[in-house]
Amino acid sequence: MPTELRLPLAEYRRKVYASWIGQCVGNMFGLGYENVYLDEPMPEGETPEWKEWVLDLVRQADGAFSDDDTDIEYLYLLAMEEAGDRDVTYDELARRWMHHVRSHVWVANRAALGLMHHGLRPPLTGRCGINPHGFQIDPQLVNEIWGVTAPGLLRYAAEKSAWAARVMADGWGIEPTIHYGVMYAAAFFERDVRRLVDVACDHLPPGARFRATVAHMRRLHEQFPQDWRRARGELCEAYYHGEPAATRTIWNANLNGACGILALLYGGGDFRRTLEMCCRIGFDVDNQAATMCGLVAILTGIEGIPADLLDPLSDRAWTLPLNDRYHNRTRFDLPDARLTDLASRIAAQGERVVRRAGGRVEGDGPAEALVIPSQVGFHAPVEPAPSIEQTPATGPTRTTGENLALSAAQVVSHTDVLDEAALSRMIVFTPRALLADSVTVIRDQAPLSAWPAPDADPPLSFYGFVPSGADGSIPNTGAEAYYGYAWTAPVSVGRVLFRTGTLEEVGGWFIDPRVEVRDESGAWRAVRDARWRPEYPAGEEPLTKAPWVQYEIRFASVAVRGVRVIGRTAGGFASVATIAAFRT
């Protein structure tokens, strides 16, 4: 690629608008097929179409409606505008997340948000060993804005996308996001989707897992150019059924990235075919559809998006695509907006990025063009490097001294084994391989003294479902659970370490935990003046609860025959990784 590129400013703005419309169309259309086709693709003879429940949302919005595949980019746009002529910082993104995101958040994004409320800041919120879902799809569905605002700046787009992806992911979990960002940046100058796929691979880290995955998709497309079902079958076998158990989920970043690339290749640069291929191939369809349709729209312009997708309602007199309306239904304190205005503002940020990279605008009127120094990279803004030790709420707790749990006669709990039937009735985002079969895991795993290295084995979590009625149903929020230890002779206890497990969207956390001790008579009573470090975020609110974090509870040392953490649960179960007990 030449060291300096020229892009007519009017053309850039038109392509940004087309991309934003394409993302909205792909996201909304794809919602109807989200996680519908998993082991097998869409059946032969079935044609993707607007689902009626999605069209109901379009009617209610009288245009496009927000979803997590587009609304985080709106949030990021506000952060970029607030930053002005400098790059936005991790701290500014975190503040936006904590203010605007109060619902409609899942998996790695939900874990990252809980960790932010717990006191951590990016990139710790995405780091392997801290965020249990750092290998999942989340970063690749919220970060297209970094590529679309970096036209022709491929290295910049790769590095900026990686930087932003670390808000909620790490390792190979961010590689599809990098690849997507580069394709978006390159699409302003390259129209061949195969070339886009290959060029983006050049910007992945050496030895990247996703580089090999993309190469595999390219081979499948070349081997079976007229048989996408055969290619999809091999994709599913390699990256779903063949995925290691600890990362095998339908939201896996590499798996869904492979689906996106395959849809793009078989779509061949045609908007409708790309959209339909995303739906036919399956898995987390609305993500792939939003990203790939936004990308293809840069190539085709708004003229390449079929009219029935721009105006899916036959009973409305819309004069602009999607009625030029973006209705916010998912984020706190984000105003509704005109799609043309949002696209114009995104393009304005792209012009700023080019200028900060050393580029310029030349010419007047129709001849006005961006002059882009294509080899420039991204330099992350200087801000204090976050560390666990410097975060008062989450600093490492002292684990020195004898862990009395190891000498306990038994682990005491409301249930001893994982209730597989109860688990099967939930949508579970955590891989089954990361869930312990027995409650004894809370004693067998070491308490947290330092955050794990990136290659460390993840801790297991025990999901203790509260036993319920004869019908086997799980109680709603409020059922009480407990975990702890019992000794045959009195021991002196004055400190407990309690580490949460992974959390699910429907529950898994204590609402109001407390520490109780068992006296000589066998009675349980709450300890007095217990001091929690950090303070526990009591209540039913899910987004303030963080996975894999440790609390230290101190109280006046007392001779006891048992100690436990007990409290009401959200969703009828409590997730725990470890509990340790010490004299002081």
pLDDT 10s digits, 229-284: 999 999 999 999 999 999 999 999 999 999 999 999 999 999 999 999 999 999 99
Helical (H) or strand (E) element with 196: helix 193-201
What pLDDT, in 10s, does the model give residues 39-98?
A: 999 999 999 999 999 999 999 999 999 999 999 999 999 999 999 999 999 999 999 999
**Percentage of residues of the chain with pLDDT beyond 70:** 94
- For residue 471, the model assigns a pLDDT of 58
Closest CA to 418 of 265, 529, 576: 576
Q: Cβ distance 145 to 167 under 8 Å?
A: no
What is the C-alpha to C-alpha distance for residues 326 and 337, in angstroms, rounded to an integer? 5
Output the CA torsion sign for 123, 125, 130, 131.
negative
pTM of the model: 0.95
Q: Cβ distance 106 to 68 under 8 Å?
A: yes
Helical (H) or strand (E) element with 361: strand 360-362
* Spatial CB neighbours of 401, under 8 Å, sequence gap ≥ 6: 582, 583, 584
Closest CA to 293 of 270, 313, 314, 319: 270
- For residue 570, the model assigns a pLDDT of 94
- For residue 392, the model assigns a pLDDT of 45
Looking at per-residue pLDDT, the higher value among 383 and 20 belongs to 20
pLDDT at 458 over 90: no
What is the C-alpha to C-alpha distance for residues 561 and 569, in angstroms, rounded to an integer? 25
Q: Which CATH architecture has domain 404-582?
A: Sandwich (2.60)
Q: Cβ distance 137 to 256 under 8 Å?
A: yes
DSSP state of 435: B
pLDDT at 138 over 80: yes
Closest CA to 62 of 251, 327, 307, 253: 327
Looking at per-residue pLDDT, the higher value among 309 and 478 belongs to 309
- For residue 310, the model assigns a pLDDT of 97
> Which residues of the chain does CATH 2.60.120.260 include?
404-582
Q: How many C-beta atoms lie closer than 10 Å to residue 490's C-beta?
A: 14
Q: What's the one-letter identity of residue 469? A: G
Q: What CATH class does 9-356 carry? A: mainly alpha
Q: Cβ distance 30 to 289 under 8 Å?
A: yes
- For residue 378, the model assigns a pLDDT of 97
Output the CA torsion sign for 53, 56, 60, 63.
positive
Determine how β-strand 550-568 pairs with β-strand 531-533: antiparallel
Q: Which bin fits 104, alpha (ψ -120 to 50), beta or left (φ > 0)?
A: left
Looking at per-residue pLDDT, the higher value among 550 and 160 belongs to 160
What pLDDT, in 10s, does the model give residues 302-331?
A: 999 999 999 999 888 899 999 999 999 999
pLDDT at 207 over 90: yes
- For residue 314, the model assigns a pLDDT of 83
What is the C-alpha to C-alpha distance for residues 174 and 262, in angstroms, rounded to an integer? 18
What pLDDT, in 10s, does the model give residues 350-374?
A: 999 999 999 999 999 999 999 999 9
Burial class of 453 by CB neighbour count within 10 A (0 to 12, 13 to 18, 19+):
exposed
- For residue 276, the model assigns a pLDDT of 98
User: At 1, is the pLDDT very low, low, confident or very high (cuts 50, 70, 90)?
Assistant: low
Q: What's the one-letter identity of residue 71? A: D
> Which residues of the chain does CATH 1.10.4080.10 include?
9-356
- For residue 360, the model assigns a pLDDT of 97
The pLDDT of 480-489, averaged and rounded, is: 97
Take residue 99 and report the two structure tokens written for it.
Answer: 């203010």
What is the C-alpha to C-alpha distance for residues 136 and 262, in angstroms, rounded to an integer? 19
**Residue found under tokens 């068992």:** 518
- For residue 456, the model assigns a pLDDT of 62
- For residue 305, the model assigns a pLDDT of 98
- For residue 469, the model assigns a pLDDT of 56
What pLDDT, in 10s, does the model give residues 399-452?
A: 678 999 999 999 999 999 999 999 998 899 999 999 999 999 999 886 654 444
The pLDDT of 19-23, averaged and rounded, is: 98
What pLDDT, in 10s, does the model give residues 170-202?
A: 999 999 999 999 999 999 999 999 999 999 999
Residues in the chain, overall count = 584
- For residue 389, the model assigns a pLDDT of 54
- For residue 506, the model assigns a pLDDT of 85
pLDDT at 141 over 60: yes
